[in-house]
Amino acid sequence: MVFYIIGLGLGDHLDITVKGLEAVKTCKQIYLESYTSILGINRLKLQEFYGKEVIEADRECCETGIDEILQNVSIDLQNNYAFLVVGDPFCATTHTDLFLRAVKLGIKVEVIHNASIINAIGCTGLQVYRFGETVSVPFFTEKWKPYSFYPKIKANLDHNLHTLVLLDIKVKEISEENLARGKKIYEAPKFMSTQIAVQQIIESDKQLGLNSIDEKTKCFGVARVGFETQKIVSGFLHEFLDIDMGPPLHSFVICAKELHPIEEEMFQFYRNNQQKID
Amino acid sequence: MVFYIIGLGLGDHLDITVKGLEAVKTCKQIYLESYTSILGINRLKLQEFYGKEVIEADRECCETGIDEILQNVSIDLQNNYAFLVVGDPFCATTHTDLFLRAVKLGIKVEVIHNASIINAIGCTGLQVYRFGETVSVPFFTEKWKPYSFYPKIKANLDHNLHTLVLLDIKVKEISEENLARGKKIYEAPKFMSTQIAVQQIIESDKQLGLNSIDEKTKCFGVARVGFETQKIVSGFLHEFLDIDMGPPLHSFVICAKELHPIEEEMFQFYRNNQQKID
């Protein structure tokens, strides 16, 4: 019948839309994508809230097991199915791929949108229209320091645009050692903090010799956007080396060189109000 | 108590989140912002759904009357209030301004996020991270043809980024003639179609002599995103001069010069499937 791909939004189980919840309640099977990030979402809490079983679809499932699920959906002419995604369904390539696989099998797909960090970053007061390309900062290692994200930040600064910086998440990773030994032992999840991100950003600027950022670069750190414990802090780049944003998930914004008056006012507001803002 | 600023999402009354709905139900007064765009939302339908009165807050109210509302909220220590916004609360400067005015009065503000076109444009299959600055195309008149949006499209193309093009909306406008006569007669609402937008984009490129676009420029037209009648069409720029996307609201995307494999696949999919996709 219908294969729903439903965005859960950014906070907890109550951030699903009413339309999404109604759809879920018609479904025979419900999968929760747990590959990209499910921090605020507890599978058991969802089960309780929906009154239905929720099956975790992890990285492995998303990359390989999904075809079997879709095959079963495509031959079931009686029932609906749901695939739940934190944030908005199309904010990860994996889910676009899922959409394509489903429609190719002749499955009727309906997408139910929700908030994602891409638009919720407006909570900083920066105009969402003035953001340039989004960048992702990966964890640097001793041997692997990919500075390739950095020229995008420079390009945005050169065009007087803000940059949303997404920070690396490592979920269900297997260490090289265990991989070599064929042992499927998952490492503990790892979430990059704004402090690490800022260190790496400053290092990248120096190593590439671009001098695009300095002590006057205005920034926002955001943590747990959409959660009750949401935290928004504004400040100058180097200050963030010492600002602890608390538990994950963190994101970061490097502001355009010129702020519009309301943006500037919001910058001052979050600089002077560094307590929790619900 | 709490002044909620709640995003209603992109479709109808069922696109509010469960959290948003619960908040609305605790409120003494509920305002619906009707200045930017309330196409899918019917105030009476909302009233029926909430079982509460919903007061329309139009352009005038948002710009001038809002202070009175906030004054009343700030002295009421017993009740919650809600301000409903189509899409996400922070996707218009007006609402950031509202947030600031409220917090300055010492009001406790809570924001409940939702989908907006800024992230839901991912429905095209284009990666949301690869969008550059968003541009807005205003209606050209005989005397007023502001081409200033166009260089932003060129800059995005030069950086191999997609451009989300938002199309002009004229709601509750008073004609120059009536304004001069002091007559408060509103013109009928006017929504730009993708056809007009493409005409103006091509004109701007020619007039500025930039030659950034041609017959091979890939584009997406989207209409009524998040509605049941949602339509997504892909094609080459000039083809859109003849494509009727149906009733408003329309948006448009000019793709980066190079598409990633999954983006290309989605482009082909919507080119070959130009019927309604729910």
- Cβ B119–A119 below 8 Å, yes or no? yes
Q: How far is the C-alpha of B155 from the C-alpha of B132, rounded, in Å?
A: 8
> Which among B88, B155, B166 has the least Cβ separation from residue A115?
B88
Sort out which chain B residues have CB atoms less than 8 A from A123's CB and list them.
Answer: 90, 111, 113
CA distance B219 to chain A (A): 18
Sort out which chain A residues have CB atoms less than 8 A from B97's CB and list them.
Answer: 262
pLDDT at A63: 66
Task: Round the average pLDDT of chain B to a whole number and report it.
Answer: 92
Sort out which chain A residues have CB atoms less than 8 A from B125's CB and list them.
Answer: 90, 96, 99-100
CA distance A183 to chain B (A): 32
The residue with greater pLDDT, B56 or B208, is B208
- Cβ B97–A130 below 8 Å, yes or no? no
pLDDT tens digits for range B139-189: 999 999 999 999 999 999 999 999 999 999 887 788 888 888 888 888 888
Contacts of A263 (CB under 8 A, 6+ apart): A125, A126, A127, A255
Does pLDDT of A141 surpass 70? yes
Sketch the domain layout of chain A as residue ranges: 2-115, 118-272
Q: Are strands A250-254 and A163-167 parallel, antiparallel or unpaired?
A: antiparallel
- Cβ B91–A17 below 8 Å, yes or no? no
Fold of B118-272: 3.30.950
pLDDT tens digits for range B22-49: 999 999 999 998 866 666 778 899 999 9
- Cβ B19–A15 below 8 Å, yes or no? yes
Angle at A234 between CA A230 and CA A238, to 5 degrees: 120
- Cβ B18–A19 below 8 Å, yes or no? no
Sort out which chain B residues have CB atoms less than 8 A from A251's CB and list them.
Answer: none
What is the Cβ-side half-sphere exposure of residue B117, based on CA atoms within 13 angstroms? Answer: 25
Sort out which chain B residues have CB atoms less than 8 A from A26's CB and list them.
Answer: none
A-B C-beta contacts closer than 8 Å: 175
Does pLDDT of B278 surpass 50? no
Mutate to test the interface with B, among A129, A166, A253, A276 (most CBs of B within 10 A): A129
Residues A253-265: what's their mean pLDDT? 97
Does pLDDT of B275 surpass 50? no
pLDDT at B45: 92
Query: Identity (one letter) of the amino acid at B40?
Result: G
DSSP letters of B210-231? -----TT-EEEEEESTTSTT-E
Which residue is closest to B124 within chain A, CA to CA? Answer: A90
> Which among B93, B119, B133 has the least Cβ separation from residue A262?
B93
Out of A12-21, A113-122, A150-159, B163-172, least confident range: B163-172
- Cβ A18–B19 below 8 Å, yes or no? no
Q: CA separation (Å) from A189 to A46, A63, A170? A: 21, 19, 5
Sort out which chain A residues have CB atoms less than 8 A from B116's CB and list them.
Answer: 115, 119, 128
ipTM over 0.85: yes
A109 strand-pairing partners: A3
- Cβ A125–B99 below 8 Å, yes or no? yes
Query: Identity (one letter) of the amino acid at B245?
Result: M
What is the Cβ-side half-sphere exposure of residue A202, based on CA atoms within 13 angstroms? Answer: 16
The residue with greater pLDDT, A35 or A254, is A254
pLDDT at A275: 47
Q: With H, G, I as helix, E, B as strand and everything else as coil, classify residue B66.
A: helix
What is the Cβ-side half-sphere exposure of residue B90, based on CA atoms within 13 angstroms? Answer: 27
- Cβ B96–A266 below 8 Å, yes or no? yes
Mutate to test the interface with A, among B14, B17, B62, B123 (most CBs of A within 10 A): B17
- Of the candidate CATH numbers 3.40.109.10, 3.30.70.270, 3.40.1010.10, 3.40.50.1220, the domain formed by A2-115 belongs to 3.40.1010.10
Which residue is closest to A132 within chain B, CA to CA? Answer: B132
pLDDT tens digits for range A118-136: 999 999 999 999 999 999 9
A190 strand-pairing partners: A170
Query: Identity (one letter) of the amino acid at A23?
Result: A
Which residue is closest to B8 within chain A, CA to CA? Answer: A17
Q: How far is the C-alpha of B191 from the C-alpha of A45, rounded, in Å?
A: 43
Does pLDDT of B59 surpass 80? no
- Cβ B159–A155 below 8 Å, yes or no? yes
The residue with greater pLDDT, B171 or B211, is B211
Mutate to test the interface with B, among A16, A133, A230, A265 (most CBs of B within 10 A): A133
> Is B224 in contact with B246 (CB distance < 8 Å)?
yes
> Is A165 in contact with A254 (CB distance < 8 Å)?
yes
Distance of alpha carbon A269 from the chain centroid: 25
CA distance B174 to chain A (A): 27
Mutate to test the interface with B, among A90, A135, A167, A227 (most CBs of B within 10 A): A90
> Which among A114, A130, A226 has the least Cβ separation from residue B115?
A114
pLDDT tens digits for range A191-241: 999 999 999 999 999 999 999 999 999 999 999 999 999 999 999 999 999
- Cβ A115–B21 below 8 Å, yes or no? no
Q: Given the structure tokens 């064929």, which residue do they identify?
A: A182
Model confidence at B213, in pLDDT bands (50, 70, 90)? very high
B135 strand-pairing partners: B165
CA distance B90 to chain A (A): 5
CA distance A135 to chain B (A): 7
Which residue is closest to B267 within chain A, CA to CA? Answer: A100
pLDDT tens digits for range B124-152: 999 999 999 999 999 999 999 999 999 99
Residues A82-108: what's their mean pLDDT? 92
Residues B95-105: what's their mean pLDDT? 93
Q: Given the structure tokens 């083809």, which residue do they identify?
A: B239
Does pLDDT of B277 surpass 70? no
Sort out which chain B residues have CB atoms less than 8 A from A19's CB and list them.
Answer: 11-12, 14-15
> Which among A22, A122, A134 has the least Cβ separation from residue B90?
A122
pLDDT at B37: 62
Q: How far is the C-alpha of B158 from the C-alpha of B137, rounded, in Å?
A: 19
CA distance B111 to chain A (A): 8
